Amino acid sequence: MVRFLHTADWQIGMKAAHAGEKAKVVRQKRFDAASRIVELAEEKDVDFVILAGDTFEDHNVGDVAVKRTVDILNRLGPTPVYVLPGNHDPMVPGGIWDRDSWKRIDPHVTLLREQQEYRHSDDVALYACPLAQKQSSLDPTARIPRREDGDNRIRIGVAHGSLNILPDHVNFPIAADRPEQSGLDYLALGDWHSRGIYGRAVYPGTMEPTSFSEKDSGNVLIVEIEEAHAEPQIEVCPVNSLTWVGITPEISTVDDVEMLDRTIRDLGPLASVLLKISPDISGCTDSRALQRLETLREEVRESAFFLEWIDPVHQPVISGGADRIPDGILYEVDEALATILDGRIPEGPGHQFADQDPEVVLAARLLLHRLAGVRSA
């Protein structure tokens, strides 16, 4: 029996540009997750740890990040750690693995630099498929030898790439039946940030989410294999610090806003949540709902770790907003703006502005209302 921890895609040093001003904190949080992995490995008393590629986001990540990673990996000792170069940190000359800061790594960490068999023990063999470039259309696992007759060792493939189950052309495609073809008991994969178990081919997902589009990320896997050919037993263990949540609510009424509020509150403390909210208010005619939505937006902005609020391209025009605009030029201007927003060409001097960008027209009208002291959308 063997028990090991399978993780991948640490992406240390990732830019996290889409986290805006929180990018730096997001980068820091990845080390917290890595530290939790160390604790977990000890707690679960694993035989070894597999880090299946993309430990680092790029060869150029800062020295401090590399050193901190090395420190964390060193803390795993004496538990053996097998680190695979992925497509973000491939085995190339002058790459991250040649860096002075990486050379401080302790001997219990094995960098799987060669496409070969690494014998963990008499009973366990690892078949490493390190990447030596960033892109390729070749299957990195193709050279894993078949299980020979009489070979009763637990054979584990370690690779990084896209399991060839998608219709699109992918980078480093990996045959979906690789475990069967090569007689592997487990194919420890990396590359996909969302967790995915496809028979014996398994992605743990990134240990700390990196975008709003990921599913089931923020975990590592504790894998137990009783013996050769036995079904692997997989335990999912969360280690993440931050939660990334994307919501696209349809807002028509105040109730819709309240429901959104509840949804957000259900996420728990927002201090560790990155929220992306793209409200659809195209069907909203209730100015109160919009006002409530605006209030909610401000509330969430204050409490969330990070909020990305996507304003809809088409905003509704709330009628009755022009009641405080006095008669005269301004009233006529407002009328003309409303006509343009309505998709018609206004009469009089307003007709020359008919082809203006509706967003700008809307903004101009909102501005006019605001200046007139009228509360609008």
Partner 1 sequence: MIVEEITIRNWRSYREPHTFRFDEGFNLLVGRNEAGKSTLFEAFTRVLFDRHTSTAEKIRRIQPLGSSLGPEATIFFQANGNRYKVWKRFLKTPASEFFTWRGDRWELDHEGDAADNAVREILRGETPPGASQTKHRGLCQALWYLQDDAPLPEEAWAEGVNEGLSGIVSLAAKSQEEDRILKKIEKVYSAIYTPKNGEVSSKSDLALLQKEIQDIEEELQTLHERARRVEALRLELESFAEQQQMKDAVLKAAHTEVADLKQKLKEGAALEEEKNQKEETLRRVKETREKLAGDLAAIDKRIMQIDELNRDLEEEQREADVLQADARVEQRTADAHHNTWKTVHEPELRQVEKELGILQAIERIRRFEEEVARVLEEIGRIETTETKFRKRQQELSTTPLPRKKDLKTYQDQKLELATVNGQIEQAAIRIGFDLQVEDVSITAEPDVERLTEDGEYLVLGPTKFTIGDLGMITVRGGGSSLGELQAKAESLSTEIASIFEHFGVADEQELSDLQQRRQDLEQEIKRLKKTLEDLTSKKGLDQLKEDVARTRQKITDERSKLSATPPGWQDLSGDVIREMSEDLAQKKEELNKKIEHEQDREAEARTAFAEASRKAEEASSHLVELKTEIRGLRRANDETLKSYSTYENLQAALAKETEALKQAEEDFAGLLTEYRIRVEEPRAQYDEALERLRGLEEQMQSVEREIVDRNARIEEAVSKDFYSSIGDQEALLDLKRRKLDQVTRQAEAVKLLRDMVQAFKKEQSTALSGPVADLMNRWVVMLTSGSYDSVQMDENLFPVGILNPQYNEALPLDNLSYGTREQVIVLLRLAMGVLLSNDERNLVVIDDRLVNADPVRMRRLCQILEEVATNHCQVVVATCNDTPYAGIQGEVIWVPGDGEVADQSS
- Residue 217 is encoded by which pair of tokens? 């990320």
Candidate segments 41-49, 230-238, 279-287, 350-358, binder of partner 1 by CB under 8 A? 350-358
- Residue 84 is encoded by which pair of tokens? 């695979």
Least CB distance to partner 1 at residue 134 (A): 11
> Site map for partner 1, 311-340, x if CB under 8 A?
--------------xxxxxx-xx--xx---
Residue 1 sits in the site that holds partner 1 (CB under 8 A): no
Least CB distance to partner 1 at residue 95 (A): 7
Helix crossing, 63-75 with 23-44: angle to 10°? 10
Least CB distance to partner 1 at residue 186 (A): 33
Tell which one of 32, 58, 117, 139 touches partner 1 (CB under 8 A): 58
Tell which one of 65, 70, 239, 318 touches partner 1 (CB under 8 A): 65
Q: Which is nearer to partner 1, 5 or 361 (CB)?
A: 361
State the Cα angle at 111 between 108 and 112, rounded to 5°. 125
Contact residues for 244 (Cβ-Cβ < 8 A; gap 6+): 209, 210, 211, 212, 214, 273, 274, 276
Residue pair 88/54 in contact (Cβ under 8 Å)? The answer is yes
Q: Which is nearer to partner 1, 175 or 333 (CB)?
A: 333
Residue (of 251, 242, 252) closest to 218 by Cα position: 242
Least CB distance to partner 1 at residue 57 (A): 8
Least CB distance to partner 1 at residue 357 (A): 7
Phi, psi (rounded to 5 degrees) for 271 = -65, -20
Residue 298 sits in the site that holds partner 1 (CB under 8 A): no
Q: Which is nearer to partner 1, 44 or 59 (CB)?
A: 59
Q: Which is nearer to partner 1, 165 or 310 (CB)?
A: 310
Least CB distance to partner 1 at residue 41 (A): 27
> Site map for partner 1, 187-226, x if CB under 8 A?
----------------------------------------
Tell which one of 5, 8, 19, 158 touches partner 1 (CB under 8 A): 19
CA 21 to chain centre: 17
Q: Which is nearer to partner 1, 38 or 325 (CB)?
A: 325
Q: Which is nearer to partner 1, 90 or 157 (CB)?
A: 90
Quote the CA–CA distance of 250 and 260 in Å, as a whole number: 9
CA 93 to chain centre: 29
CA distances from 366 to 253, 316, 320 (A): 21, 11, 12
Quote the CA–CA distance of 238 and 122 in Å, as a whole number: 31
Least CB distance to partner 1 at residue 76 (A): 24
Least CB distance to partner 1 at residue 168 (A): 26
Q: Show contacts of 283-286: CB within 8 Å, 24+ apart.
A: 283/250, 283/252, 283/316, 284/251, 284/252, 284/253, 284/316, 285/252, 285/316, 285/318, 286/252, 286/253, 286/254
CA atoms within 13 A of residue 303's CA, in its CB half-sphere: 13
Binding to partner 1 in span 85-104, by CB under 8 A: 92-95, 98-100
Quote the CA–CA distance of 253 and 200 in Å, as a whole number: 48
- What are the residues binding partner 1 (CB under 8 A)? 13-21, 23-24, 27, 57-65, 92-95, 98-100, 325-330, 332-333, 336-337, 348-350, 352-353, 356-357, 359-364, 366-368, 371-372
